[in-house]
Amino acid sequence: MDWLEFDTAECSIQKTMDVIGEKWTVLILREAFNGVRRFDQIRDHVGVSDPVLSDRLRKLVAAGVLEVAPYREPGRRVRKEYRLTDKGLDLYPVMISLLRWGDKHGTGRDGAADTDGPPLEVVHRDCGEPVKAVVECAAGHPLSSPKEARTAPTSAATRRSVPVRG
């Protein structure tokens, strides 16, 4: 297969990035996965402005990644909190992959490599071992490199009308 012959407009990675591809969106998802659901808590913990947070939350709700649930503290007005949907929970391996990549390749605030190790650890609640994202085929065979896989068009793939020139 010649990758350049196919249109990427319908690429699943591109569609995913359309939903979660902005920095603040991924950080909001990080908060949701860690149980932070309320607007003011997300804003204060992430350091995002109210307009940006409102926009990203609205987009995540529209995409079906988060859902709005009303809550009311005694003596206060009804407010909203944002909870992951099943669609949102399906992003967990993506978030773990980003975390592990950052643990391995991330740099400190000054641009130098982190030497103290990761600041947080995600471990399995039952056994205490670190959680990792694994790439494997449907038969359970692990893949350690993209060289162990091949990409092939499906019937949903569209050929480009104009070839890419190199």
Q: Residue ranges per domain, the chain? A: 1-90
Measure Cα distances from 6 to 49, 155, 159 in Å. 39, 12, 4
Nearest to 32 by CA among 78, 74, 85, 77: 85
Q: Give the integer Cα–Cα distance in Å for 78 and 92.
A: 29
Output the pLDDT for position 24: 97
- Is the pLDDT assigned to residue 110 strictly greater than 90? no
pLDDT band at 88 (very low <50, low <70, confident <90, very high): very high
> If you average pLDDT over residues 8-33, what whole number do you get?
93
- Is the pLDDT assigned to residue 148 strictly greater than 60? yes
CA 151, 157, 159, 165: dihedral to nearest 10 degrees?
-40
Output the pLDDT for position 54: 98
- Is the pLDDT assigned to residue 162 strictly greater than 80? no
- For the chain, the average pLDDT equals 90
Instruction: Give 161's contacts (C-beta < 8 A, 6+ positions apart).
Output: none
Please give the class, per CATH, of domain 1-90.
Answer: mainly alpha
> If you average pLDDT over residues 130-148, what whole number do you get?
94
- Which tokens in the block code for residue 35? 């149980």
